[in-house]
Amino acid sequence: MNRLSLCLSKLQGFYCKNKFLPTYSEISRMMGYKSKNAAYQIIKDLIEEGFVSKDSSGRLSPTKMFLGTELFYSIKAGFTTPVEESAGDKITLDEYLISHPSSTIMISVSGDSMTEAGIFDGDIVIVEKGSSYKLGDIVVAEIDEGYTLKFLDKENNRYFLRPGNIKYPNIYPEDELKIFGVVTGVVRKIKK
């Protein structure tokens, strides 16, 4: 691992733990440099590569690329295929999962009524608020003054909510059904 990659890795670890980037003095200590000048040079390289930026006061901040993860070519889930090199591209989960940041939220899921849709207890759904919806979409809906996550369906010109688990009944509004947003993605942490 070259010194730029090593520094980037250490800065990413520091940022994930502290939610801010270290000072030049801290970078010097972190990297084992005797002077801040070496830290200035490596930060200059990281700025040129697009990983960090510096504001007018000299404070460092991460760019989108900073927390990006290397994107590899696809892998088959069936038979093995030859190992290929990385595409070299970096991508962030936000960039991959979120099209409209100002209208997107994440909601933690509780319960098992959507397991057949691949949404499990503890998952996080990405929801685009106020998005246009259609039948069959998985939606966050306000129904009779409560919220739920279900498929949007229609029967006899009447909208209702259908679970993704046959153990649960359909939900028909007694009073009102409002669509809060449409689920556009699911995040699941496999190993903690």
- Comparing C-alpha atoms, which of 133, 135, 120 is closest to residue 182? 133
Which helix or strand (DSSP H or E) is residue 40 part of?
Answer: helix 36-49
Residues noted as catalytic = 113, 150
Name which of 150, 157, 136 is nearest 180 in CA terms. Answer: 150
Residue positions counted in the chain: 192
- Residue 57: what residue type? S
Given a contact cutoff of 8 angstroms between Cβ atoms, the answer to whether 84 and 73 are in contact is yes
Residue that has been written with the tokens 């697009």 in this structure: 50
